[in-house]
Homo-oligomer: A and B are copies of this chain.
Amino acid sequence: MPRYLLKFGGTSLSDINQIQNIASKIKSISDQGHELIVVVSAMSGYTNELISMVSEVSSKHDPEEYDVIVSSGEQISAGLLSISLKEIGLAARSWLGWQVPILTEGIHSFSRIKDIDVTAIEDCLKDKQIPVICGFQGVSSKNRISTLGRGGSDTSAVALAAVVKADRCDIYTDVDGVYTSDPRVVAKAKKIDKVTYEEMLEMASLGAKVLQTRSVELAKNEKVRLQVLSSFNNVSGTMVVDEDEILEKEIVSGIAYSPNEAKITVSGVSDKPGIAAKIFGPLADSGINVDMIVQNISLDNKTTDLTFTVTRNQLTQAISVLEDNMDELGYKNIISNDQVVKVSVVGVGMKSHPGVAQKMFSTLGQKGINIHVISTSEIKVSVLIDEEYTELAVRSLHTVYGLDES
């Protein structure tokens, strides 16, 4: 009997009516003769309500008690879904993180799953009962409730799918799957039937917020077959699979963009070995994530410019870190720009097809779009451009790589 893990996000469980619809969906899948494990998020909006209460009571973040409070969200949705399943004749019960148990490590509110003991869940399945497991939460080595960070339910689902050796992990959400680009920007974007883990990772980290990045990494490492699909219809979604499973690899699978970027240029830096480490060291120590980096050619053999990107909400902090270290770094000045966007062409097939980057640059050039920074990996080319060109760039690239829906 095939064993499926089904994960339902908060937008699929936003009220009692939707919870009952999800119960019917689970029943129809169960009736096809599948063995099911269910993972749930909190009802949509509920977690934000709890978080706002927490921040009302204190401006300081208390990660332990935060976890106690916000984890109540999945507790409620798991209970309500279990009752709904029983109501339509399926045996079911809720499982909280500590009951499974899902053991975590690391700091509260950003914990990582360390181990899952599946004995109790396997017993539950043997009893022909559907386990409805709270996503997002676990229990620390100190027996306290821990949570995995926002979107952590995807990671819970993939980790559970791995340990119970599920044939597939279906992530039900409010979109039909992964698209070749953001359909709000590119009307001709189409659903992708299959993507590789690597492509999905690039898409996820580049702003296509369908799956939490960590869950994709975990699925890749544990070889969990993932499907992203909609709770609101019965159409198949996007399969995220190993490269071997895709025979005809698309050269370019999708055009992603990430608006949450800011650019910093440190100019007049003395051009000698170790200067990059000197600049990026203090930033890393302050928890600032640096993404694209370009070092200009030194024209006078004495000084050079360094340009890099950070996430937009860390820009002010990054600048003040650099200013605090001005004496030691010995630069001339800092120029920053938060009106930029990163646009990326992603595709596992580009490994064996040269010319993908060239096509991108020439397309953007023809449209009069200036490129500030370029970065590449095996399966993607990213450029930083002015924010106002976002839609033009994404749509042009979507067309030129043949992704428009016919």
Contact = CB atoms under 8 A, between A and B. Distances in A.
B58 A69 contact: no
A72 B76 contact: yes
Nearest to A93: B64
Interface stretch (A83-91, A154-162, A167-175, A223-231): A83-91
Nearest to A98: B98
Contacts of A54: 79-80, 83
Contacts of A69: 75-76, 79-80
Interface of A is mostly: helix
A20 interface: yes
Nearest to A94: B68
A46 to B, nearest CB: 10
A143 B82 CA distance: 17
A64 B80 CA distance: 11
Contacts of A320: none
Most-contacted residue by chain B among A80, A86, A94 (CB, 10 A)? A80
Given A83-B65, A94-B65, A76 B50 contact: yes
Closest 5 CB pairs of A and B: A72-B72, A69-B79, A68-B79, A65-B79, A58-B87
A144 interface: yes
A318 B157 CA distance: 50
Given A68-B96, A143-B99, A16 B57 contact: yes
A60 interface: yes
A130 interface: no
Nearest to A64: B93
Interface string A3-25: 00000000000001001100000
A56 interface: yes
A388 interface: no
A57 B87 CA distance: 8
A99 to B, nearest CB: 6
A246 interface: no
Contact of A84 (B57, B79, B99, B143): B57
A64 B76 CA distance: 12
